[in-house]
């Protein structure tokens, strides 16, 4: 039987790695990584740095494969995501079959926490259904936790609900009953739609990394600064990873 450990490694700072994750890292014989191109080399570099920093006196190998691409503006979003995950499953399955021996332990390092807006668990579970493979999940510090910590705010107000969603879903309107909304995977700067609605925003990009950017305040007052810095950062790095929290002003 082969074993895969899905290990959450935090939002970008190697210091986010938990002691449980360190123990898991030191069980792994082969790490599997999907490389996303030159623009996102820093994401692979972080994974390599985590291994270098925390694995002691335990031999390991790193195996990489190109990450499947997808249409950034598909006509059917869910179908496109399903197709992307099938391609990722095939890529991981091929590496596991070729590179991991029976009785060995493989590792996949998940950005943030594997349970939050990440398909690694689903993909590995689909592979495990074919037999000969078991898997474990080690939680990590998510970008949501990092965002609230860096802004020094609680995630929720007392007795109030929180909704975690995407920009794609938020463009349909403020979620019914939600006091606080946390937005991930927003490629459309959806917060702009809520100017004039008496909201506050806590925004962060490249959280936990040396390139981290933080902005907070009344949305109407800081939205132009967020747009300017977000555009400049995307142009400078070739990509952007941001998360933000909005809530009704007291």
Q: How many CB atoms lie within 10 A of CB 56?
A: 8
Read off the pLDDT of residues 163-182 as tens digits, 9 standing for 90 and up.
999 999 999 999 999 999 99
Read off the pLDDT of residues 204-226 as tens digits, 9 standing for 90 and up.
999 999 999 999 999 999 999 99
pTM, whole model, 2 decimals?
A: 0.90
168 φψ region: left (φ > 0), alpha (ψ -120 to 50), beta (else):
alpha
The CATH number of 2-141 is which of 3.40.50.1820, 3.40.718.10, 3.40.1010.10, 3.40.50.11540? 3.40.1010.10
The pLDDT value recorded for residue 39 is 54
Cross-sheet strand order for the sheet of 61-66: 61-66, 30-35, 105-110, 2-8, 133-138
The pLDDT value recorded for residue 74 is 78
The pLDDT value recorded for residue 38 is 56
Q: What is the pLDDT along the chain (250 residues), one digit of tens a residue?
A: 999 999 999 998 999 999 999 999 999 999 999 987 655 567 788 899 999 999 999 999 999 998 888 777 777 888 888 889 899 999 999 999 999 999 999 999 999 999 999 999 999 999 999 999 999 999 999 999 999 999 999 999 999 999 999 999 999 999 999 999 999 989 889 999 999 999 999 999 999 999 999 999 999 999 999 999 999 999 998 889 999 999 998 7
CB 215 within 8 A of CB 208: no
Residue 62's alpha-carbon distances to 59, 65, 126, in angstroms, are 11, 10, 22
CATH superfamily of the 144-248 domain: Tetrapyrrole methylase, C-terminal domain (3.30.950.10)
Helix (H, G, I), strand (E, B) or coil at 46: helix
Residues of the chain with CATH 3.30.950.10: 144-248
The pLDDT value recorded for residue 214 is 98
What is the C-alpha separation between 65 and 43, in angstroms, rounded?
14
Residues found in the chain: 250
What is the C-alpha separation between 105 and 117, in angstroms, rounded?
25
């Amino acid at each position: 039987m082969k074993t895969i450990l899905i290990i959450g490694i935090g939002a970008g700072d190697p210091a986010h790695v938990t002691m449980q994750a360190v123990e898991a890292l030191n069980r792994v014989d082969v790490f599997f990584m999907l490389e996303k191109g030159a623009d996102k080399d820093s994401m692979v570099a972080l994974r390599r740095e985590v291994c270098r920093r925390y694995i002691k006196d335990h031999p390991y190998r790193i195996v990489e494969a190109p990450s499947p691409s997808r249409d950034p503006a598909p006509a059917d979003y869910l179908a496109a995501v399903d197709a992307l995950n099938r391609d990722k499953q095939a890529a991981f399955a091929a590496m596991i079959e070729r590179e991991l021996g029976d009785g060995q332990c493989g590792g996949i390092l998940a950005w943030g926490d594997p349970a939050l807006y990440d398909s690694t668990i689903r993909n590995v579970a689909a592979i495990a259904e074919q037999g000969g493979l078991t898997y474990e999940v080690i939680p990590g510090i998510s970008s949501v936790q990092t965002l609230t910590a860096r802004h020094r705010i609680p995630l929720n107000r007392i007795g109030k609900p929180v909704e975690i969603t995407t920009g794609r879903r938020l463009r349909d309107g403020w979620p019914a009953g939600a006091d606080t909304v946390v937005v991930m995977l927003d490629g459309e700067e959806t917060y702009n739609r809520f100017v004039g609605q008496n909201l506050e925003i806590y925004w962060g990009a490249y959280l936990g990394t040396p390139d981290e950017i933080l902005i907070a305040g009344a949305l109407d007052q800081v939205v132009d600064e967020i747009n300017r810095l977000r555009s400049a950062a995307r142009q400078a790095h070739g990509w952007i990873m941001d998360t933000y929290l909005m809530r009704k002003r007291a």
